[in-house]
Amino acid sequence: MRSPNFWSWFDGIAGPQLAHRTEGFRKVFDHLDRFDRPVGIVETGCVRQQDNWAGDGQSTILFDRYAELHPRSACSRSTAILRRQSFAAPWSAGMCVSTPATASPT
């Protein structure tokens, strides 16, 4: 299900700053919109430099905003930062975190 609020934000704010990454992220979110169920997103890595849209892509911010604004999201406002090895972290974290972004020790 398409979220008009997310797409308004993406097209007006994020997309123009993503440079060569715009169309790739557009395809990712178009694909996620096709699911007729809540979507869970697990990302390894994080924002390294604030406002580096054209370089790093700011995918953590994009995925968080998608979860926040998508009407069928499994979680909203629930990005958790886990400092662990990327192959172990998703299994040790729950599917949803009820608080906004926090950091946990290794």
* Tens of pLDDT, residues 72-92: 655 545 555 555 555 554 545
Q: Which residues contact 104 (CB under 8 A, 6 or more apart)?
A: 80, 81, 82, 83, 84
Q: Which tens digits make up the pLDDT trace of 20-69?
A: 999 999 999 999 988 887 777 777 777 778 888 888 778 888 888 888 88
- The stretch 1-26 carries a mean pLDDT of 92
pTM for the model: 0.69
Q: Count CA atoms within 13 Å of residue 86 on its CB side.
A: 5
**Cβ neighbours of residue 87 closer than 8 Å, sequence gap 6 or more:** none
3-state secondary structure the chain: CCCHHHHHHHHHHHHHHCHHHHHHHHHHHHHHHCCCCCCCCCCCCCCCCCCCCCCCCCHHHHHHHHHHHCCCCCCCCCCCEECCCCCCHHHHCCCCCCCCCCEECC
- The predicted model gives 7-16 an average pLDDT of 95
